Structure 1
Amino acid sequence: MNISVAGTSFSCTIGSTCFTGNDSRIQTGWTVGGGGEWRFAPGWSFRAEYLYVDLGKSSVTANALATGIGPNLSRYTANFGRADFHVARVGVNYHF
């Protein structure tokens, strides 16, 4: 498999690990949403909730394990887009 990063290319054997890295952290951000609950029969209610969560942008740094790949590619940072998502929940409750 041929890999090209930042204008430098090299070959990596399929099934082998050419780069390694990890990123372990708590991502902070913000959430906005709303919801409600409605009683539709004695002892029964329906609930609905919507949330939008935005955790900002994220990146991870990886170290090269392969040899002969050039001095410019021994470490690189991969930047990812925004980490945002939507959560919708619905439910039916029975009240004892």
Structure 2
Amino acid sequence: MKPLMRIVGAAAILVWGGAASAADYPMATTSEFVNWTGAYFGGFGGYAAGEITADADTAPYDAEYDLNFALGGVEFGYNHQFGQFVVGGEIDISFTDGDTSETLAVGEYESNIDWLATFRLRAGYAWNNLLIYATGGFAAAETDDRFLSGGAEEETTGSRKGWTAGAGFEWAFYDKWSVKGEYLFVDLGDDEAIQDPNGVLPVGFGSSVVEHQYHVGKVGINYHF
């Protein structure tokens, strides 16, 4: 329930901010932007605030820690407008080099993320050159999580799959160009770590399941074809 409340709150902030910004500037210079139908391509930058949860078979090896990082990437999408309603899809990929660690009395967890991609549907409402939308779909990322203790380690690495949902606004400001602001909640699910057969982990450790969740804020610019 807490992630849902965060999504609703962030969506309200984005809608309010987008509407206020649009009111301060003139409309796009051509009528082409009144119709959002068509393909677009763009780039973006942003910041992710994440939480990693490691649940081991016994409580002393559990951990919760943060992984925060800047990101940047590219996106491609397509919209179709029906009256003032706009629906479409978007694919994006973000590149980053986020890493963190959490030290426990019994060892240390390390985590990093190399890239994050989403494949989402969008549905929104357009006021001339301002589009407010909700979005949701599939998320994937490349992560590496390790528990280290006395020279032994338990590791899970590779691509993760999960889901994402959020909201945003896009404002067409000149000719074929638009700017956007977006919030996404990303849940990459959980993955069980694989024990190193050559090491000896603490007695009673068993195995651990590591979960990644992120709150992502992005700003970007798009070119519409």
Return the letter of the residue paired with 1:72. Answer: G
Residue number in structure 1 paired with 2:205: 73
Residue number in structure 2 paired with 1:36: 171
Return the letter of the residue paired with 2:150. Answer: S
**Structure 1 segment 1-96 matched on structure 2, within 5 A:** 6=61, 8=106, 10-12=149-151, 18-22=153-157, 24-39=159-174, 44-56=175-187, 58-65=189-196, 66-80=198-212, 82-91=213-222
Q: Which has the higher contact order (CA 8 A, sep 6+)?
A: 1
Deviation at 1:54, TM superposition (A): 0.7
Cα displacement string for residues 18-40 of structure 1 (whole angstroms, at most 9, x for unaligned residues): 2232464431121200112133x
CA distance in 2, matches of 1:21, 1:32: 31
Task: List structure 1 runs of 4+ shifted beyond 4 angstroms.
Answer: none
**Could you say if the C-alpha distance between residues 92 and 69 of structure 1 is closer, same or farther in structure 2, counting changes exceeding 3 Å?**
closer
- Structure 1: where are the runs of 5+ without partners? none
For the 8 Å contact 2:186–2:214, the answer to whether it is kept is yes
Structure-1-length-normalised TM-score: 0.57
In terms of fraction of residues, the more strand-rich structure is 2
CA distance in 2, matches of 1:88, 1:24: 25
